[in-house]
Chain A
């Protein structure tokens, strides 16, 4: 599990202040918040890209606060895919495996189940520049998961995609989460995405944690933050066909009292029991 204790990061314009958060092993955890809330900084602090000013980060009990990124075994998938443009799809996915030779992984072999799940075999010899956005994001997912990270961070992985790919990717994310049992920590400002995928979620705003809990808890017990910045929320994703439609106008309270009806039956807010038991049993904590 990831345990963040009183974390502070100071990057001048952007700050995190005294943030504490616990994410269970195997959980699909979503971080929400408006633009500039500090979501991406939190991810960068977890992966080791920004210096931590105070507090600690633990991963399965190990203190990783000041470890270099390559020693943390935490994967990341960015909104803009960040594929290596000079390498083929195969070389992209195999990139991290060469550094795991010590761990007994043959770096020439790609994980077949991952390729099959993401339907990547036909693309292996192509270069990233020739792929669609959806294909590129699938490659990025495969590349990150090919090294079996302890946690996968996803920084708005769907927001650069057009709606038809977004639904497809959401499907792959759910599938991969269930198959690999990896802890997923995803950042989004899209409400529908959070509803469709999160087992638990946290809301951060202006560098502070506002609320954390299951989607139901959060949407049933609106806290003070909602009235202050919900008006600036980006609702793009709410328009996608499978997502609950939410209409919103700034002056009224953004979360209607009859909130439960907005959670669709069988949404990811209540994960299938099979996967639940699987990741609970894998939990080393």
Chain B
């Protein structure tokens, strides 16, 4: 046990304080920076509104895609062992470890007209460069691993025996999933959605390569900083943080309360 009389306790405590200060001070400084008047001025600016809305909307769309294609796959990963599973899980984590601009460049080389995928999309009329679809593609790429991992953990936490019992009682595989597995894994899936959204909203490096315009909020913040300086970029950043926190809090609030845990 860490005792107050031991030097280690004081070292650990001071390290903890440094970490907390390091994380909170810049944020507090930034949030307390702009006056109420500038904040008001910023939010009535149509360009700011458009970019924040675009950020929220594209991140939400990325999370929806992640849920749609990630949920069945996460369930498979949680329930079945197969040769090469570790490799598959490693591939899923790749978007987390690849530097962001590299992600942008990699996606660009795929959807550019020099590659058949890009040519095919072009012929189908899908434009990814400098478009909302392009932004959503990038955000899905970077956000997907967070949802997949959380969902897989959530499904793995539901005992296969509960599903076996449900099947033995007459529920089909689909009914079992919606009546037993999903209600029990729901909180993990929600945590995954929030992580995926949060990661998508914070993406900058990959987005600027695929779509500088239309401008998502991080790109606008960067542009205002480059062109006009700190004072003009700060209020946009504060609004973005404020709206994101409110949204995530709401998501947490609407999620059902946990039942008493089984022994």
Contact = CB atoms under 8 A, between A and B. Distances in A.
Contacts of A83: 262
Interface string B158-186: 01011011111111110100011001100
Interface stretch (A51-59, A68-76, A117-125, A207-215): A68-76
A129 B260 contact: yes
Interface centre among A47, A49, A82 (most CB of B within 10 A): A82
Dominant SS among interface residues on chain A: mixed
A108 interface: no
Interface residues of A, number: 33
B4 interface: no
A96 B183 CA distance: 17
Interface of A: 44, 47-49, 68-70, 72-76, 78, 80, 82-86, 95-96, 99-100, 127-130, 133, 136, 143-144, 147, 149
Given A78-B161, A84-B162, A86-B184, A68 B167 contact: yes
Contacts of A127: 259-260
A144 B168 contact: yes
A82 B161 CA distance: 6
Nearest to B172: A70
B169 A85 contact: no
Contact of B169 (A49, A78, A95, A136): A95
Size bin of chain B's contact surface: 20 to 34
Which 7 A-B pairs give the minimum distances between C-beta atoms? A96-B169, A99-B170, A129-B260, A69-B167, A85-B262, A82-B161, A129-B262
A129 B261 contact: yes
B29 interface: no
B27 to A, nearest CB: 37
A138 to B, nearest CB: 15
B168 A74 contact: yes
B263 interface: yes
Contacts of B165: 76, 78, 82, 84, 143-144
Contacts of A73: 170
Contact of B168 (A75, A86, A136): A75
A147 B169 contact: yes
Contact of A99 (B162, B169, B260, B261): B169
